[in-house]
Amino acid sequence: MRWGLRLFEGFGLGFLLAFLQSLVSPATEPFRTGVNWFDGWILGVNEPSISNRLYRVSVLILAATWVRALFNYLTQVYTELTQQKLVDRLRKRIFEQLQAVNLSFFSKTNAGELINILTSEIGRLQAAFGLLAYIITKGLTLAVYLVLMFQLSWQLSLISVVFFTLLAVGLSNLNARVREASFEVSVAGGKFTARAMELISGIRTIQAFATQDFERRRFYRASSGVLDASMKAVRGWAIVRPMAEGLATTVLIAMIIIALTLFVSRGTMQIASLLTFLFILFRLVPAVHEINGNRALLNTAWGAFDNIRELLRTDNKPYLPDGDIPFSGLQRAIALESVDFGYDPDLPVLHNITLTINCGEMTALVGASGAGKTTLVDLIPRFFDPTEGRILIDGIDLRNFQINSLRRKLAVVSQDTFIFNASIRDNIAYGTENADQSDISEAARLANALDFILEMPEGFETQLGDRGVRLSGGQRQRIAIARALLKDPEILILDEATSALDSISERLIQESLEKLANGRTVIAIAHRLSTIVRANKVVVLEHGRIVEQGPYQELLEQQGKLWNYHQIQYELSQNR
């Protein structure tokens, strides 16, 4: 006992033993730790008055309680700080992962599931670490209790350890079931988020097709899926604590009976020691309950651990290796040499593409939907790498250039322009650091956007809402063109930039595109042939292969594929 109290010199439970001894057996020799100054000054063993010794020890117990309260507070503060820092780092790591992976990853992964991981699953993981911290804290307390118990009675302590180990083993089966159920909660959560996202982003289509009932059924099913999976997990972990409590109380009663009959009645244990032992055991049992309950609850977060770990894995995701050479600008030409590409390696989209795009010229890609036009232009900014063949810029393989330096010299204007939920100014200046107001206004003017911007209530400061809901399709396109103009790219990719617009918007945008294209290398995917009459080269694609290429007029004169497209569009315009 003395060794134990020297280890935890003067601390709470040791004081309690001194207190109980003074109270229960005042006539016996006062309790000593063996450290003279401590016994004399702190415990007051030389104090003749028993009541004075009691007061002294009472004050010490109170002091220990308050210091423990302070330490508990600090534990909570630093535990929360650690959790928050962990979550912050994980969020940032997921961001870096999402930035680093190849775009093909996103075509195979559900956006709703990714958002679910970044929000709900991270939240579950944070809660799980809270529980883990609690288990560690309580575990430390248990370790201290155990040391003290062994000092008081190693026999009783051994019996306790055996009983509680059996209890823990029994409960671990229940915990395993809870862990399995937690994976189902994660899967159901991901499905629900995906469904909710589709509902919100596709609300116009849903209403236009009057499919509210169909969507209601799907949404309700997803929501019920979360409910069912959660309840399965809850039923699992909720049973752990009451089971643990019932069993532990049974063990406790058994311990008291054993102690009284085997040790106290035979005089091998003092009543003060037994009281202290039981006091510790009474504090230990709820701690064991809490640990078991929290272990079960922790298991409900196992699915979140699994999802986050899987997302952060790098060995099963596609990455684009970055090059070393900074891209300083296009001098001569972009050359595609026998390029093949497929999003799925077994299903090629582009076959044997050999093409030269000269610097300062306009190259137009023409073809039916699904011919591979967008896929081909996506290879230039290295959204994807060819599966076969190579792309050279001024004779250097595209893969040798630093991706960011390449993309900084390049702009893409597509029919599906992304507008950020920010002001018009921020949307135009997106990607161009240090742009001043005069540059932004000039870009807007050249893009034929200045008039409608100035008519808006707050001009350039007008907030555009999610995906630019406050703008028409033509206005969104002009913002995108202004953004590209401000970036002043050397290579410009126009991916059917006017195809979804009415004729007035198209005329305005065609004008601004011509200003944008002036003096740059342009690769244009054309829906309407009228927009590419001035192209230096036209490339006709069919089923992922180049079937014709050459100057516009020459191809028309050959009366081949381009001529066919030309005839179809001419007939359509005559029929209107």
Partner 1 sequence: MRLKFPAFIYQTLGVTCFWQHNAVILREFKHFPLAAMLAIAFALGAAVI
Is residue 85 a contact point for partner 1 (CB under 8 A)? yes
How many whole angstroms separate alpha carbon 426 and alpha carbon 349?
Answer: 36
**Secondary structure class of 36 (helix, strand, coil):** helix
Q: Does 82 bind partner 1 (CB under 8 A)?
A: yes
# of chain residues touching partner 1 (CB under 8 A): 32
Smallest separation, CB 38 to partner 1 (Å): 15
With CA atoms as reference, report the closest residue to 13 among 203, 141, 120.
Answer: 141
Give CA separation, 125 vs 84, 122, 173, 307, 326, in Å.
11, 5, 22, 10, 40
Check residue 75 for interaction with partner 1 (CB under 8 A): yes
Please report how close the Cβ of residue 275 comes to partner 1 at its closest, in angstroms.
Answer: 20
Q: Which of 449, 442, 441 is closest to 474 using CA atoms? A: 449
Q: Which of 78, 95, 220, 420 touches partner 1 (CB under 8 A)? A: 78
> Of the listed pieces 69-77, 349-357, 448-456, 558-566, which binds partner 1 according to CB under 8 A?
69-77
Residue 3 interacts with partner 1 (CB under 8 A): yes or no: no
Would you say the C-alpha torsion 8, 11, 17, 22 has a positive or negative sign? positive
Torsion sign, CA atoms 231, 237, 243, 249: negative
Q: How far is the CB of 125 from partner 1 (least distance, A)?
A: 7
- Residue 58 contacts partner 1 per CB under 8 A: no
Sheet with 362-367: strands ordered across? 410-414, 491-495, 521-525, 362-367, 537-542, 545-550
The 290-319 contact track toward partner 1, x by CB under 8 A, reads ---------------x--xx--xx------
Of the candidates 23, 50, 62, 74, which one interacts with partner 1 according to CB under 8 A?
Answer: 74
Could you say whether residue 227 binds partner 1 (CB under 8 A)? no
Of 449, 350, 145, 63, the residue nearest 55 (C-alpha): 63
Please report, for residues 528, 552, 570, 571, the alpha-carbon distance to residue 557 in angstroms, rounded to integers and kept in the order given: 19, 9, 16, 18
By beta-carbon proximity to partner 1, the closer residue of 149 and 529 is 149
Q: Which residues within the stretch 122-181 sit at the binding site for partner 1 (CB under 8 A)?
A: 125, 133, 136-137, 140-141, 143-144
**Which segment (63-71, 170-178, 242-250, 418-426) binds partner 1 by CB under 8 A?**
63-71
List of residues 6+ apart from 369 with CB closer than 8 A = none
Around Cβ 46, how many Cβ atoms within 10 Å? 10
The DSSP 8-state label assigned to residue 535 in this structure reads -
From the CB of 177, what's the least distance to partner 1, in Å?
A: 17
| CB of 312 vs partner 1, minimal distance in Å | 5
Q: Residue 97 interacts with partner 1 (CB under 8 A)?
A: no
Task: Give me the count of residues in the chain.
Answer: 576
Please state, in angstroms and rounded to a whole number, the distance separating the CA atoms of residues 270 and 21.
9
Pick from 2, 89, 235, 543 the residue near partner 1 by CB under 8 A. Answer: 89
Residue 46 CB, shortest distance to partner 1, in Å, is 25
Q: Point out which residues bind partner 1 (CB under 8 A).
A: 8, 11-12, 64, 67-68, 71-72, 74-75, 78-79, 81-82, 85-86, 89-90, 93, 125, 133, 136-137, 140-141, 143-144, 305, 308-309, 312-313
